[in-house]
C-alpha cells in the first residue's frame, strides 16, 4: 500500500462524534474529535411564536428539520464521512412537546395550529396551576427546592388537562424536547434521567414516579396509565438508545443507519457536562450556563436541600452524584431588554452591525477602552442599580411574580450612558449569581469556582465582572461551544469512545483561562452594590 493510500486510510479511520444543541432560537450541530476539539459547526434558526399573555410556543416539526439542516451542514464543512461518526448526542431546552397518535403534532394553545405543538420552557401560562400544586405541600416538592416552577412540566400538563382537555386526552406522548429528539432519531421512547428528574418529578434516587403526587395535583390519569405517556423506561444520559439511528432519521441527517444515539440532556446540563469536569473534580465547580436565561449547576456527593433552588437531583448531570440547579429566568435576555430601553439603542445597534459586531460586544469594547482594567469597568455603572427579574426570580426565591427594578436612571442619551447601562446590567446578573452561590453555601453546598459557558458569557469583560461581582474565580474552557461539547460527550459514551460520562468529561474538556476576582477597592465597590441589589429586591417584594 502506498504512503498516499495509508494516509487516506488513516484519515478515513479517524472517529468523530456529533453534538446537537437546540436552544430557544436555533438548532446547532458540532462535530468533535475524541480529544474534544471541534472541527466544524453549523446553525439553523427556528421560530418562536409569542401569543397573548405568557404563551410561548414552537414547532417540533420545524425543530427536527433545523437539526437535520445543521447536521448536514456541519458534516459538509468538516468533510467527515458518515462512517466516521461514532455517535451522536442531543440536548435541548426543557420545553414540552405534545404528539398525537403516529407522532402527529397537536395544538397546545389557542391558535389551534397543530404545528405549534411545543410549550416553550419560558412559557408561564401555568402559574396558577403551579401555585395550586405548591399548596398541596407534597413531599415530592422537597426535591424541587420546596416550590415547583411554572417552567416545569407537571404544571403545564395540568394546564393542558384543564384548559385543553381534548388535546390532553388525544396525546399519545408528552416529551421533554430532548427526549423527543432522541425518539425521533432512534425510535426509542426511553426518557433521560436528566429531563424527567429535573422537570417532571421523577425520583431518580428511588427509580420511580411518585403516584400519590400525580393523584394529589390532578394528573391521576397519568398514574392510572402506568405513566406510559410520560416515560415508562428512564435511563441515564449517554446510554445508547434502540438500535441507533433509524433508516429514516439517518437519511434525514445524512448519517448511517445504526449510528449510536445517546440518551440526551437538558441544554444547561449539557453545558455543565462540557465544563465542570475539566479539572477532574466536578464537585468543586459551579457550572454557569449564561445564555438567554442562566442556569447554575452544582454537584455534590450527598444530597443538599436548598430552599428556592431546584433539586437535589440524583444522577441528573454527573453520574452517581447529586445536582442542585438554580439560575435566573432571564439573563442574556434581560441585558438585551435593558439596552433596548435606552434612547440610543437603535443607533448603537446599527453602528455595531456596521462594525460586524453585536451591540454587547461593541459596548464591552468601549467599556474596556475607557477603563484601566476589566475590573475597573465596574466603576462606569456609577449610581445605576438594577434587579433584572423581568420574568420572575427562579432562584433562590422561586418567585415567578417578581419583576425588574431600575434605580438611578437619568435623562442621559449619549453613548457613555448606554455603556454604563450595559455594565450595570452585567453586574446585576453577577449579583443574582452571587445570591444563589451564598444560598447554596449556607445550606451546605459551597463551591470554589465558577466554570462558564453559553453565548452571553463569551466576552472577557463579562467574565471578569462576574468574577468580581461574585468573589469567585471564573474559569473558561478551551471549547468555544461547551454546550455542544457536552452533547457530543454523550454521543462519545454511547459510541464506546469512553467508558462513562465522567471519563468523557475529563478526556474532552480543558480549562483555558482563569479570571481572578479583585480583593481590594473594586471588591468593596461590588459589596456595596450587592447590598443595594438586595435592598431593592426586598422593597420590590414589599410593595408588590
Q: How many structural domains comprise the chain? A: 2
Does residue 261 share a domain with residue 396? no
For the cut 70, the answer to whether the pLDDT of residue 12 exceeds it is no
- Judgement on whether residues 23 and 103 belong to the same structural domain of the protein: yes
Instruction: List pLDDT tens digits, range 184-220.
Output: 999 999 999 999 999 999 999 999 999 999 999 999 9
Q: For residues 48 and 185, state if they share a domain.
A: yes
Q: How far apart are CA 274 and CA 24, in angstroms?
A: 19
The secondary element (H helix, E strand) that includes residue 522 is: helix 521-543
Does residue 282 form part of some domain? no
Q: Is the pLDDT of residue 71 over 60?
A: yes
Check which CATH number belongs to the domain holding 114 and give it: 3.30.420.40
Residues 529 and 410 in one domain: yes
Across all residues in the chain, what is the average pLDDT?
95
Domain that holds residue 209: 3-265
Q: What's the mean pLDDT in 262-279? A: 93
Residue 3 predicted with pLDDT over 60 = no
At 298, the pLDDT band (50, 70, 90 cuts) reads very high
- Domain co-membership, 230 together with 141: yes
3-class state of residue 324 by DSSP: strand
Q: What is the pLDDT of residue 102?
A: 95
- Of the candidates 265, 281, 312, which is a domain's last residue? 265
Per-residue pLDDT tens for 161-186? 999 999 999 999 999 999 999 999 99
Q: Tell me what pLDDT residue 314 has.
A: 96
Task: Find out whether 491 and 88 touch, Cβ atoms under 8 Å.
Answer: yes
What is the grid cell recorded at 209?
Answer: 414516579
User: Do 248 and 341 sit in the same domain of this protein?
Assistant: no
Pair 22, 108 in one domain: yes
Residue 428 lies in a domain: yes
Check whether residue 256 and residue 358 sit in a common domain.
no
pLDDT over 60 at 5, yes or no: no
Residues 338 and 257 in one domain: no
Sorting pLDDT into bands at 50, 70 and 90, what band is 13? low
What is the rounded (10 degree) CA torsion for 200, 201, 202, 204? Answer: 120
For residue 449, the tally of other CB atoms under 10 A from its CB is: 21
Map residue 55 onto helix, strand or coil: coil
> What pLDDT is recorded for position 292?
86
DSSP 307-321: TTSEEEEESSSSTTS
Q: What contacts 45, CB < 8 A, 6 or more positions away?
A: 25, 26, 66
- Spell out the alpha helix ranges (H) of 55-192: 60-78, 127-135, 153-163, 165-170, 177-186
Question: Could you tell me if residue 300 is inside a domain?
Answer: no
Q: Decide if 482 is inside a domain.
A: no
Give the pLDDT confidence of 324-362 residue by residue, as tens digits.
999 998 999 999 999 999 999 999 999 999 999 999 999
At residue 2, does pLDDT exceed 70?
no
Same domain, 104 and 250: yes
What is the pLDDT confidence band of residue 278, given thresholds at 50, 70 and 90?
Answer: confident
**pLDDT (tens digit, 9 = 90+) per residue, 482-516?**
999 999 999 999 999 999 999 999 999 999 999 99
What pLDDT sits at residue 527?
A: 98
Higher pLDDT, 3 or 310: 310
Which of 239, 265, 291 delimits the end of a domain?
265
Does residue 94 form part of some domain? Answer: yes
User: pLDDT band at residue 52, thresholds of 50, 70 and 90?
Assistant: confident
Choosing from 250, 265, 280, the residue where a domain stops is 265
Tell whether the model's pLDDT for residue 454 goes beyond 90.
no
The CATH number of whichever domain residue 410 belongs to comes to 1.20.58.2240
Cβ contacts of residue 110 below 8 Å, gap of 6+? 51, 52, 55
The pTM for the full model equals 0.89
Q: pLDDT tier at 281 (50, 70, 90 boundaries)?
A: confident
Please give the grid coordinates belonging to residue 275. 465544563
Whose cell is 468593596? That residue is 524
> Within this chain, do residues 121 and 28 fall inside the same structural domain, yes or no?
yes
Structure confidence at residue 291 (pLDDT): 86
Measured between alpha carbons, how far is 117 from 107 in angstroms, rounded to an integer?
5
Q: What's the CA dihedral at 294, 295, 296, 298 to 10 degrees? A: -170
Domain identity same for 338 and 212: no
User: Which of the four pLDDT bands, split at 50, 70 and 90, describes residue 474?
Assistant: very high
Helical pair 415-443 and 521-543, crossing angle rounded to 10 deg: 80
E strands, 199-350, where? Answer: 234-235, 265-266, 285-290, 294-300, 310-314, 322-328
How many CB atoms lie under 10 A from the CB of residue 82?
A: 14
Q: Does 468 map to a domain?
A: no
Q: How confident is the model at residue 7 (pLDDT cuts 50, 70, 90)?
A: very low
What pLDDT is stored for residue 275 in this prediction? 93
**pLDDT tens readout for residues 402-430:** 999 999 999 999 999 999 999 999 999 99
Residue 404's pLDDT is 97
Give the end-to-end CA distance of the chain in Å, rounded to a whole number: 78
Amino acid at each position: 500500500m502506498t504512503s498516499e493510500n495509508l494516509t487516506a486510510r488513516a484519515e478515513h479511520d479517524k472517529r468523530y462524534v456529533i453534538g446537537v444543541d437546540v436552544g430557544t432560537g436555533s438548532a446547532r450541530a458540532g462535530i468533535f474529535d475524541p480529544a474534544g476539539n471541534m472541527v466544524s459547526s453549523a446553525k439553523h434558526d427556528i421560530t418562536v411564536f409569542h401569543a397573548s399573555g405568557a404563551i410561548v410556543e414552537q414547532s417540533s416539526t420545524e425543530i427536527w428539520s433545523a437539526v437535520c439542516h445543521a447536521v448536514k451542514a456541519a458534516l459538509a464543512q468538516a468533510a467527515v464521512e458518515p462512517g466516521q461518526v461514532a455517535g451522536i448526542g442531543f440536548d435541548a431546552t426543557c420545553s414540552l412537546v405534545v404528539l398525537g397518535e403516529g407522532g402527529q403534532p397537536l395544538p397546545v394553545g389557542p391558535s389551534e395550529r397543530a404545528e405549534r405543538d411545543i410549550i416553550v420552557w419560558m412559557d408561564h401560562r401555568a402559574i396558577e396551576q403551579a401555585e395550586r400544586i405548591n399548596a398541596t405541600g407534597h413531599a415530592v416538592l422537597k426535591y424541587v427546592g420546596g416550590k415547583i416552577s411554572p417552567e416545569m412540566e407537571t404544571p403545564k400538563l395540568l394546564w393542558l388537562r384543564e384548559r385543553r382537555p381534548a388535546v390532553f386526552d388525544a396525546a399519545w406522548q408528552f416529551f421533554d424536547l430532548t427526549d423527543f429528539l432522541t425518539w425521533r432519531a432512534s425510535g426509542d421512547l426511553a426518557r433521560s434521567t436528566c429531563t424527567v428528574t429535573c422537570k417532571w418529578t421523577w425520583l431518580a434516587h428511588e427509580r420511580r414516579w411518585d403516584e400519590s403526587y400525580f393523584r394529589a395535583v390532578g394528573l391521576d390519569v397519568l398514574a392510572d396509565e402506568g405513566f406510559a405517556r410520560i416515560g415508562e423506561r428512564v435511563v441515564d444520559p449517554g446510554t445508547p438508545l434502540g438500535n441507533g439511528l433509524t433508516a429514516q432519521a439517518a437519511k434525514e441527517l445524512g448519517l448511517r443507519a445504526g449510528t449510536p444515539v445517546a440518551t440526551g440532556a437538558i441544554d444547561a446540563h449539557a453545558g455543565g457536562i462540557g465544563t465542570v469536569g475539566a479539572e477532574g473534580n466536578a464537585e468543586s465547580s459551579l457550572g454557569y450556563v449564561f445564555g438567554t436565561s442562566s442556569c447554575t449547576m452544582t454537584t455534590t456527593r450527598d444530597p443538599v436541600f436548598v430552599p428556592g433552588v431546584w433539586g437535589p437531583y440524583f444522577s441528573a448531570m454527573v453520574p452517581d452524584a447529586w445536582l442542585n440547579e438554580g439560575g435566573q429566568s432571564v439573563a442574556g435576555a434581560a441585558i438585551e431588554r435593558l439596552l433596548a430601553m435606552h434612547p440610543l439603542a437603535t443607533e448603537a445597534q446599527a453602528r455595531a452591525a456596521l462594525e460586524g459586531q453585536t451591540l454587547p460586544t461593541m459596548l464591552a469594547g468601549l467599556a474596556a477602552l475607557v477603563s484601566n482594567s476589566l475590573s475597573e469597568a465596574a466603576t462606569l455603572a456609577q449610581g445605576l442599580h438594577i434587579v433584572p427579574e423581568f420574568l420572575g426570580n427562579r432562584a433562590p426565591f422561586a418567585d415567578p411574580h417578581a419583576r425588574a427594578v431600575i434605580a438611578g436612571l437619568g435623562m442621559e442619551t449619549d453613548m457613555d450612558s448606554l455603556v454604563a447601562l450595559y455594565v450595570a446590567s452585567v453586574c446585576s446578573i453577577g449579583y443574582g449569581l452571587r445570591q444563589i452561590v451564598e444560598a447554596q453555601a449556607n445550606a451546605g453546598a459551597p463551591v470554589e469556582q465558577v466554570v462558564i459557558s453559553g453565548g452571553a458569557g463569551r466576552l472577557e469583560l463579562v467574565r471578569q465582572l462576574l468574577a468580581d461581582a461574585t468573589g469567585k474565580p471564573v474559569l473558561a474552557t478551551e471549547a468555544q461551544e461547551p454546550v455542544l461539547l457536552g452533547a457530543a460527550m454523550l454521543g462519545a459514551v454511547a459510541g464506546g469512545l469512553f467508558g462513562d460520562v465522567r471519563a468523557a468529561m475529563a478526556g474532552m474538556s480543558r480549562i483555558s483561562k482563569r479570571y481572578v476576582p479583585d480583593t481590594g477597592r473594586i471588591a468593596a465597590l461590588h459589596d456595596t452594590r450587592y447590598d443595594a441589589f438586595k435592598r431593592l429586591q426586598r422593597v420590590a417584594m414589599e410593595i408588590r
